[in-house]
Structure 1
Amino acid sequence: MSLPNRGFAGATLAQSVTMRVQGFGCDAMAARLISAALLACVAGWISAAEVAQEISVGVDQRRALSVVVYDTDLGLVTDTREGVLPSGLLELQFPGIAAKLHAGSASLEADKLSVVEQNFRYDLLGKSSILSRFLGRKLKYSRSVSAGGRYEKVLREGILLSADPEIVQFGDEIEIGPEGTISLAYLPKELKATPTLLWLATNEKTESRVLTARYLSRGLSWNADYELVLGRRDAAELTGWANVTNDSGADYLDARLTLVAGDVAAPLMPTPRAPQPQFMMERAAADMAAPRSVGRDLYAFKVPHATSLLRKEAKHLRLFPARTVNLERRLVARGFVQMGARESRNPVNVMVAYAFENAHRDARPLPWGTVSVYREGEDARMFIGSAQIDRVPVGEEVVVETGQAFNVQVVRTQVGHRMDRGQAFEAEVTLTVQNRGERRERVTLEERIPGSWELLRESKKSRREPGRGLSYVVTVPAGESVEVGYAVVMRP
């Protein structure tokens, strides 16, 4: 509120308030008393608003920046800046922060500074946001018209009826999307060029202050990308990369970056409505140290150097260099015993999988991500396939399924009937494994059996999978077939 002539404005305001109070049936004396009380409150508010000095501590005053990115679309930003603050009541502005900030998580730390109020301004400067503040008010439009071989500037004034779409009344006419340039005497104070945190705070003494703001934000995430390159025989090389994406709406320049793997319950935040962003790609090959444990359930990977993470950028950072793993190629076919099916005959997909133990000397926890498998050829590297893996602790097995086998097929036949007046179901299953290739193949047959069941007979020794069913491992010579059969009785 601006009061260029406080005495005149105060007298006018006092008269207006007294007249309005009298309109409610109060006598003159009561009206003057009530208006005096109201004016005292307003005067106190005006005084406080005038005393609060606007101080902006911008990105150029930043002294340190730390960003912790979780693999659950969440980031923790610690932004330290320094500026000279005058004493008294301040409106402290912190521009250039994340647009997807969780307002309830923001905090400010500074010596001898007492915060009494916090605000998050994310309605940014733009034509639509500016016009929405001028609804029902007069706007000036100007445009250039050609007259006699030269251009003249034509001015006209109209009342803004709607901001989106732009509808303006010029005298007796109403125009939608009128031509011309809009001239404004001022910009609304509440609109900011970038998302901004504001604090109303009291400062004891005029001097330089170190200000540390912390907040959580959506739009920061990462996942692991692994390259598994198959060599000769059973050896392969595994390289780990971290794929970090920034869709938070802010740039993080020269930041100390830490990546955290593990489940974190994040605060509820509104889901952004914006379309999926297009990211710029950047790749950096500085290795990270072995992850450190954060408590018992999280692991932190610290980038060894300062790095910049720009908005709408995807950055690749190397988690660890190539290391040798002992690899096993597997063929797996999965079937399901159908309770109630009298007779069925169906082909079963045979999946190709590559497995290795995450248990060598330099083993470290593997965050969830995508494993891309390649094979080195004589002339070029060939892509074999890819699959996602969940988080893998040290000592656990990693299995990557890359696609279907070309030369191995499995045909599954099931014949069944009900027993015990419909209270049980007996199923007899035959699995025929056909190898059309030039080498013998070792195939694992996994059979899922629902409910409570009992094995009646089988043609080959099986291994029981607790809570799942049975599995068989068969070796099929080149160009031949192998048959495996079993029978079970199931009860719901």
Structure 2
Amino acid sequence: MNRLKSRALSLLTLLFALCFSLPVFAGSVSGASVTVYNSGRALVKETRSATLPQGMASVVFKNIPATIDPTSVRASAKGMQVLGVQYDYLPISPNNLLERYVGKELTVILPDPTDANARTLRKATLLSMSKQQGPVFLVGKEVYVGAYEALLLPELPADLQREPTLTLTTKNQTASKRDVRLSYLMGGLTWRADYTLSVNRAGDEAVLDAWATLDNSSGRGFSNASLKLVAGQVQRETGGRMLRKANVASMEYAMADAAPQPREEAFSQFHVYSVPGYVNLTEHGTRQTSLFAASGIKVKQQLVSRYHAGAGQQGGPVKQNVQASLTFANSEKNSLGNPMPSGLVRVFMPASDGDMLLAGESSIGHVGPGGEVKLTLGQAFDVTVERSQTSFRKLGKNSFEMSWSLSVVNGKKTPQELRLTDFYSGQWNIVKADRKYSKPDARSVQFDLTVPPTAGKKPMVVNYTVQVTY
């Protein structure tokens, strides 16, 4: 019992000390370090100076991002013990304003019942507020539910805040000015990779420029901050506190000047890039920094057409899409071998006058050293594939045989590499084919063709028969 009384007395002493002590406001940020993840959040470490009294104190931090995760806040300073962390932010919004005026008087601008083009100002009491159905007013002795022009509130509720605030409850050994180190996770910061692949006139070699594109929509800027970028999908639990997303009114695009490339290193099962020097991140904006560049990359261009065959009889010809693709190996032998974070690859190729034009865009996932990059650039214009089912017969209750004839037209003046891939379910077997084929996996048959120019000539034809059991 004496122990419980002692704890209760200590708690009352703490509350009394805090109630009658003036808050201490921390200074501006210095030495900020920002680590940004692909997932849309960042780890921030910063230092702020504060003059702390001896004993109990409330240390208030302003300029806190609205997208902060309060449960991740950690603070430390020499001779300072953190007893509690409190995050306060109730933004000024129409719903928050009206919720605090329920039961209070305000002025509402209503349509004038005697003149369709006129408006009238009426004093009213807000009876209730619903986000879905709107407000209900008591005007005089009548309850009004309906359209209104605007609302005029006599004053701003005291608990609404223009900016977030973080308050630490601390116990300090001595009174002195000291640096408080603060770390926290926040949302609204994300990054991705953007690649520019410039292919030579022959179409077999390219130069690759890799950039990190950093987007900040958090409403919090960082000046002279050190920056790290983590590539990879770091596990994130979704059951915690939802972070408020800031509205982006405008995006400022600022291309970074040429600078030394970031230092890349392995981190757990991920990769981290340390950007040299210090950067400035605006409250709402986009910034790019170079990751790496490589030249002399051997690339292979190919046309690909895929078809998923059904299990029934089909009539009439079927036109297939033919996609232009480009592949290259991410290996040291191919002048690369760098970790390639997920992002967008823009491919440029030269026109007849040498002018480099956009030939397609394709997204890639994370590609590690030794992997292969596969890009789909768009639909071919001059090469077409049309197929017809030339025969179909049932072999049993769950089996059948069918024959296909694929007609390939190449309207270009040069031969084109084309890969035809057909997909089947169940057990299947090619019983006859007039072109060489392969089976890359259990579901597909593949024909790799070099299609000569066919303008004014007969198209190239591929015929084969397949038996399927399902």
Instruction: Give the alignment's TM-score, normalised by structure 1.
Output: 0.78
Shift of 1:167: 9.5
Unaligned runs of 5+ in 1: 1-39, 141-156
* CA distance 1:207–1:338, shift in 2 (3 Å): same
1:420-440 per-residue CA deviation (whole Å, 9 max, x = no partner) reads: 2x2223232222211122111
Counterpart for residue 340 of structure 2: 366
The code of the aligned residue for 1:218 comes to G
Corresponding residue for 2:71? Answer: 104
In the alignment, which of 241, 245, 267 is matched to residue 237 of structure 2? 267
Match of 2:448 in 1: 473
SS in 2 for 1:291: strand
Judged with a 3 Å threshold, the aligned counterparts in structure 2 of structure 1 residues 475 and 212 are, in CA distance, closer, same or farther, namely same
Is it true that 1:417 corresponds to 2:407 in the alignment? no
Deviations 1:215-271 (A, max 9, x none): 222211111111111222122111111111011231112111111111111232527
User: In structure 2, what is the equivalent of residue 349 of structure 1?
Assistant: 321
Alignment of 1:158-177 (within 5 A): none
Alignment deviations for residues 138-166 of structure 1 (CA, whole Å, 9 cap, x no partner): 899xxxxxxxxxxxxxxxx9987779989
How much does 1:171 deviate? Answer: 9.3
SS of residue paired to 1:304 = strand
- Report deviation, 1:97: 1.9
Q: Deviations over 1:35-93 (max 9, x none)?
A: xxxxx9998686244244311214x2x22111111111121111221221112222221
Identify if the C-alpha distance between structure 1 residues 163 and 477 changes in structure 2 by more than 3 Å, giving closer, same or farther. closer
Q: Which has the larger radius of gyration?
A: 1
1:439 aligned partner, one-letter code: T
Q: Which moved more, 1:165-174 or 1:200-209?
A: 165-174
Q: 1:491 corresponds to which residue? A: 469
Would you say the 8 A contact 1:340–1:418 is kept in 2?
A: no
SS at match of 2:219: coil
Mapped pair 1:314 → 2:286: yes
Distance in 1 of aligned mates of 2:255 and 2:393: 60
1:4-60 CA distance string (max 9 Å, x none): xxxxxxxxxxxxxxxxxxxxxxxxxxxxxxxxxxxx9998686244244311214x2
Name the counterpart of 2:309.
337
- The correspondence for 1:404, drawn from 379, 388, 397, is 379
Instruction: Kindly tell me the number of residue pairs found equivalent between the two proteins.
Output: 432
Which residue is 1:243 aligned to?
213
Contact map agreement 2:106 2:152 (CA 8 A) in 1: no
| Offset from partner CA, 1:362-415 (integer Å, 9 cap, x none) | 431111111111123426331111111111111222121111111111112234
Deviates most, 446-455 or 259-268: 446-455
Structure 2 CA distance, aligned partners of 1:195 and 1:103?
A: 11
The residue type paired with residue 319 of structure 1 is: L
CA change 1:89–1:43 in 2 (3 A) is closer
In 1, distance between residues paired with 2:424 and 2:401?
12
Structure 2 spans left out of the alignment, 5+ residues: 1-8, 108-122
Q: Does 1:288 align with 2:257?
A: no
Query: What's the offset of the Cα at 1:134?
Result: 6.2
* Alpha-carbon offset, residue 191 of structure 1: 4.2
**Given that residues 345 and 362 in structure 2 are in contact (C-alpha distance below 8 angstroms), is that contact kept between their aligned partners in structure 1?**
yes
Question: Residue 424 and residue 276 in structure 1: after superposition, are their counterparts in 2 closer, same or farther (change >3 A)?
Answer: farther
SS of residue in 1 equivalent to 2:348:
strand
Quote the Cα distance in structure 2 between the aligned partners of 1:213 and 1:454.
65
Equivalent position to 2:42, from 75, 88, 97: 75
- Per the normalisation by structure 2, the TM-score is 0.81
Partner of 1:84: 51
From the superposition, tell whether residues 177 and 115 of structure 1 become closer, same or farther in structure 2 (CA, over 3 Å).
farther
Give me the whole-angstrom Cα distance separating, in 2, the residues matched to 1:120 and 1:357: 49
Is the alpha carbon distance of 1:271 and 1:416 closer, same or farther for their aligned partners in structure 2, counting shifts above 3 Å? farther
Are the structure 2 counterparts of residues 119 and 43 from structure 1 closer, same or farther at C-alpha, using a change threshold of 3 Å?
closer
- Note if contact 1:334-1:348 (Cα within 8 Å) is conserved in structure 2: yes
- Contact 1:287 / 1:321 at 8 angstroms: preserved in 2? no
Cα separation, 2, equivalents of 1:294 and 1:355: 28
Question: 1:94 — aligned with what?
Answer: 61
Mean CA deviation greater in 196-205 or 125-134 = 125-134
Q: In terms of mean alpha carbon deviation, does 173-182 or 203-212 score higher?
A: 173-182
Q: Provide the C-alpha distance between the structure 1 equivalents of 2:153 and 2:233, rounded to a whole number of angstroms.
A: 52
Q: Is the 8 Å Cα contact of residues 399 and 468 (structure 2) preserved in structure 1?
A: yes
1:362–1:400 Cα change, 3 Å: closer
Match in the other structure for 1:215 = 184
Q: 1:132 to 1:85 in 2, by over 3 A?
A: farther
Aligned twin of 1:255 = 225
Q: 2:410 pairs with 435, 446, 450, which one?
A: 435
